[in-house]
Every structure is written in C-alpha cells, then in structure tokens.
Structure 1
C-alpha cells in the first residue's frame, strides 16, 4: 500500500440461482496492493523566496440459511491478530449485528489543522507573511533566532520555534510536528558597507543604491546549508510529493505489513477468505496481492476481509491527505477501513469505493471522506480521525454499507552569474558582485536545487528588488531568470500565501516584478485601493521545468 495508490483486479463469475431458495453468487477481485498517502496534503508545500498494492482474484459466494460455525477457524483468527476480545463482547457483537439500527445524527467529520511555518518571520517579507496568514485565519508557527524580538514584533502569543537554519542541531524535527506547509523567507543579510541611516533609507532599494556587503553568516551557510537543514527538519511533517509507500511490491520488496483473513466467523458467520502473493500478477508482470474467498449470508453473516496485524509502531500519515489504491476490480463495491487504535473491537474509519470490471484504476480516498463505523453502524460520538496514529489497515467486501443499508453491488454474492556572454554591467548589483558577496546567487541556486531534489512539494518564488511600497501594482510573472525590476515586500507576502493553496503553483519556479519602473514610486489612494489580485490567474500560466539553468547547461526548457 502506498500513501498515494493501490490497485484491485478481478473477474466476477455469473450469479447462480439455487433451487432450494438460497441465493448464490460469486465475484473476484485482484488488487495490485499499492497504497500511498497523497497530498502531501495535495497542496502541502514549501514556498521558497512536499508503488503499488494489488488485490488479486477474489471469488465471493453468498449463501443464505444456517450453517455450522467453525469455532476452530474463529480461534485461529483471534490468535493471528493477537487481540482476542472478551467473550461477552463476542456475544454483544453478534446481537448488535442482528439488531443494528441507523444513527439519529450525522457522524463527526475528520478534522484537519494545517499549521503554516514561516521562517525568517522577523524579516521584511516574513513578518508580512505572518500578518497575511493571520488575517486569513490560518494557524501560524514561526521559526526565529530571537524569541524576544519575535514576540515584540509579532505579539506575545506567537507560536515560536527557537532555532537557526544554519545550525542543524537547533532544528529538532519534533518541534515541527503538525507543520503542513512552509513559507521560507530566510535570506542572507546584505547591507551597506558604510552603514545605514536610522530609517534604513540606503537599504530600501529604489530610494538609494549603496555599496553592499554580507552581514552575518555567509550565503553558503544561509542559502545552501540552511536550506538543507530546513528540509531535513520538516520533511517528515510536510510529506513527499510522490507519497509514502505503505504496502506494495517493488523489486523484491513484498510490503512490510502482514495481512490475514478477518471474516464474519468472528460473529458466528461462515464466510472465508485468504490473502496470497502472486509473483507475476500485476499490470507490469511483477508481484501482486490476491484477495480471494467465499462470502455467505448464513448465520447472519455477510462479509469477508483481509486486515493487517497491528503495526508495531503507528504510522504517522498526518502530512498526507488520504490514501490511493491501485486496483483492478470486478465492478463491485469494497471498503477500506483504517484503524487508529490497538484495541480489537473498536471504531474503524471507513470509505467505500467502486471498481471498474477488468480495468486497472487508481482510487483516491481522502481522509476527510472517512466515516467512523463501529459494528456496521456509524459512530456519531467518535473522535475525529487521527492520521498521525494509524495502527492497521483493512479491505472488505460486505453485504452492508452502513446502518443497515445494502451494498448495491452485493448481489449476495539562480543562474545568471555563470551564463556565457552575459553583459554583467547591465545586471543588478547581486549579479555583478556575486563573488564579492560570498557567491550569494550561487548558493541561492544550490539551495533551490536541494529543495527540487528533496521530493517535497514546493514553489520557488524569485522576487526582483524588494521595496517598502504598498502592494497593488500590476505584476509581471516570468520564468527563466531573465527579468529585473522591483516589487513590494507586501505583494510578495500575499503571493506566497496564495501559492500555498494553489496546485497550479506546485513544482514551479518563477520570477515576479511590478510593472512600475524602478525610478517611479508606487503609491495608492486609500479612498480607492486597487482590487484584490487573483494570483491563480498567474499560476496557471506557469510551466514545469523552467529554472534558468537551461542557459547554463545548454538544454532546452520544457514547455
């Protein structure tokens, strides 16, 4: 199972009529068991200025009437899962399955709490990012070096992590738990050699240029090693773009979870199933999992399933939005059940999904769609689904959906300093003086490459010269690292926040500037402010694979 994908395959036999009045049918499903968690919450990303399982053939036959109960198989099932329930609970389970009634209120929905981490939060862009996020009602955590300065600037109640990106040992991953998105506004400090005025006029490019020098840690420490340290700290919390493989077959890997049959024998039924490995059963001729069995409605039964043993250590899937199964089905409806408790007889968070007969397909199940279910009834008082504490997975074919409703398919059955031919005299100071400034742009590019190669979903924003002007000017977005100009820090902050929620921005690198010339100040009329921008219009025009490095490497940009 892969935290973004899984697969089922199968062929279903015809429905059979039984002359004794019993109903019989069979179905089969093969699933390339591949379950991924997806999203990195699909838009989880770092904004910088996150294999397959198969269910195979499954024959399911439904038979009505009374049958003898196999107590030996019941005992084996309990022994396999190491969770024998109290005998009284067994009787209670059987009785409740017979007398189940619908709930009187809707179950609680799974909740999410996406915290955005802002690094460099006391800087010119960073503090504005925090302000924009707060105005949008987004929970914020900040990474700063100076707690007193941060509380003075951002308020006494600001959620703080004290650390320094240039010092990896100060970035303990446990402090970043719950972080789903990151806006990194950390940057090397460049200031005037001759010092600045009290109001930092020299620093405010566009008012007066100055002879610059690096203040504090070098570009290599901040832009490159700092990025490396930050990625290592947040990677597990933010998640990976390709998802996390939970169970599947990749090369000689047959999955780290142990599956076993869990059928209605635990409540007196006689259905029976098994899970097998087929070495060449997948769509690529590799190994696949085979879920097969017989389902019977005798003795008030009606389900077969396979379930993993409880994980030794719970899986933390909080960085992801859901599970993706890669399946080839038989046209029937199945259930995925995710458990968050080590108890044997407890709530399972459940979603139904339909398969297409004879076709491989990817089935995405968002965590937000999971329904808390206990003994085939929705649990209205269940706690919200906790994706950080996954203890077991289960796949089921059942006569019932939830609350007595029948399963409809259960028929019972940065780049310019090194560019060749570039006229540096016409470039901004940082380009002209890259080496004098500690190779500032070289290390910015190295930092970008780290994040591109990390597997974490990202957006890289390259603003032109930053100013203290208000936001609102018309913007120009470009790719390829060719433009120069200026842009408001406030505008960059808003843009970064907008990129967090935009799938169109994921995996993109771009430059942005305002249309206002450097020599002209930009002001707004408070009585007639400019309209709010729809940044999505810009994001949708961006293309993958364009970074500006193409000019260095002599390779064409992807279009």
Structure 2
C-alpha cells in the first residue's frame, strides 16, 4: 500500500508541475519589447511619410545618434501648413509628418497586454501613436490595415515614459474616428507608427507650424499590473 501511495504521490507531483508550467506559458512576461532605437539597423524597420507626398511642404527625418552615452532614435523635421503651387492633390492644407514601421513578418500577438509604453524626450508637442492591425473592420473603400490611434503628449526637456492603455486607442480612417465602440484585435498587430500634426492635440501642448523633434529609446507592451 505504501508503495502504491508513493507512486500515486509522484504522479501527482508531476501533474502539478505540468499544470504550473502550462499556466506560466499562458501568462506572458510583464513586458515585451517591440522596438529598441539603439542601432542604425533599426532605421531599416521604418519609413517616413509627410504631406509632401500630396503637395505639402512639411519634411521629416529619422536618425540614430549617440545621446547621453547611448544610441537613440531622433524623429525631427518641420511642419508647414503651406502647399506647393503646382500640387495636383485636392487638399486644403498640410502640416503632418510620421514614421511608420514596415510590416512585421506576419504579425505580433499582444493579446496578453494592456498598455503600450514609449520612452521618449520631446518638445512639448502632442504626437499620435498608431497601432495597425489586420483588417477586420469593414469601412467603405477601406482595404488597408485597420488603424487605432491615441494621443501622447511629450513634455519638453526630460525623458518621459508614456503609458497608453490599449483601450484608449480609437479606430480611425484617414485620421477620423469611425466608431468609438469598435474593439481592437491585439492578437493581430502588423505595425505601428508615430506621427505629429501642426494642429490639434491635447490642451496645453505646443502646436502650430514649425520645427518638431522627439527622441526615442524604446516601445514596449506592458501588462496592466506592471
């Protein structure tokens, strides 16, 4: 009987360990690094865009430079509300620039996370953090990825860690919220971007045409309790 009890106890211990390991596999780490702006190779993962593609006069650049004993990304440029005289595009004004990641190889699954966190140092402007997910929200004429946007005000001066709950990202189509009741599918993230507009944003943020500059250290996904 004692031998049977010992075998049963050993089997039970193995089962408990297996269950514990499986639960640990289901719970993701407290944080997940998505982008680290610490090498020139990082630049290959991004491309720039601005109103200059539509006849505007804004400009932007993305560089990796040594900042305070470490390499950091620098997204900077100039926002202009003016338009080229020979523009063939039907837009009323310019004033936007952005940096967008190239599509991930497939997608990344952020279903176990609640917050997008960015470590940056800026100029007092309000920037727009965008998450692109695989298209499953049907909008008229929309074939590209779904976009979800949230404001991030970057104080001027010191390094700042912004934490944006995924629930704060709203579904948008060409910069306009399409239905605030829609929910993101964080399991099918295909890319991200950071952009800036000359106008709009949150109260108290620097706005208007002119130079902009934000330094980037990393972008991570966090669990809410982190």
TM-score by structure 1 length? 0.32
Distance 2:44 2:164 in 1: 20
Partner of 1:397: 196
SS in 2 for 1:231: helix
Conservation of the 8 A alpha-carbon contact between 1:276 and 1:291: yes
Distance 2:204 2:178 in 1: 19
1:320 aligns to 2:107 (yes or no): no
1:410 aligns to 2:207 (yes or no): yes
Count of aligned pairs:
199
Partner of 1:372: 171
Partner of 1:224: 17
CA 1:354–1:230: 2 relative to 1, 3 Å: closer
Conservation of the 8 A alpha-carbon contact between 2:43 and 2:64: no
1:305 aligns to 2:98 (yes or no): yes
CA 1:363–1:381: 2 relative to 1, 3 Å: closer
CA 1:256–1:409: 2 relative to 1, 3 Å: closer
1:287 aligns to 2:47 (yes or no): no
1:258 aligns to 2:51 (yes or no): no
Distance 2:204 2:94 in 1: 14
- Counterparts of 1:471-490 in structure 2 under 5 Å? none
CA 1:356–1:257: 2 relative to 1, 3 Å: same
Instruction: Select the residue among 22, 28, 33 that pairs with 1:239.
Output: 28
Structure 2 unaligned segments of length 5 or more: list them: 84-92, 136-141, 211-222
Conservation of the 8 A alpha-carbon contact between 2:40 and 2:64: no
CA 1:351–1:411: 2 relative to 1, 3 Å: same
Map Cα deviations across residues 70-116 of structure 1 (whole Å, 9 max, x no partner). xxxxxxxxxxxxxxxxxxxxxxxxxxxxxxxxxxxxxxxxxxxxxxx
1:384 aligns to 2:183 (yes or no): yes
CA 1:374–1:229: 2 relative to 1, 3 Å: closer
Distance 1:333 1:349 in 2: 16
Partner of 1:525: none
Structure 1 unaligned segments of length 5 or more: list them: 1-191, 196-211, 414-456, 458-500, 507-559
Conservation of the 8 A alpha-carbon contact between 1:347 and 1:379: no
SS in 2 for 1:218: helix
Conservation of the 8 A alpha-carbon contact between 1:349 and 1:373: yes
SS in 2 for 1:290: strand
Instruction: Select the residue among 142, 149, 154 that pairs with 1:350.
Output: 149
1:225 deviation in Å? 4.8
Instruction: Select the residue among 36, 44, 56 that pairs with 1:248.
Output: 36
TM-score by structure 2 length? 0.73
Conservation of the 8 A alpha-carbon contact between 1:398 and 1:407: no
CA 1:392–1:378: 2 relative to 1, 3 Å: same
CA 1:409–1:346: 2 relative to 1, 3 Å: farther
Give me the CA root mean square deviation.
Answer: 3.4
- Give the number of the structure whose alpha-carbon radius of gyration is greater: 1
CA 1:218–1:340: 2 relative to 1, 3 Å: same
Distance 2:102 2:149 in 1: 17
Conservation of the 8 A alpha-carbon contact between 1:336 and 1:352: yes
Distance 1:256 1:218 in 2: 52
Conservation of the 8 A alpha-carbon contact between 1:248 and 1:254: no
Partner of 1:274: 61
Higher strand proportion: 2
Higher helix proportion: 1
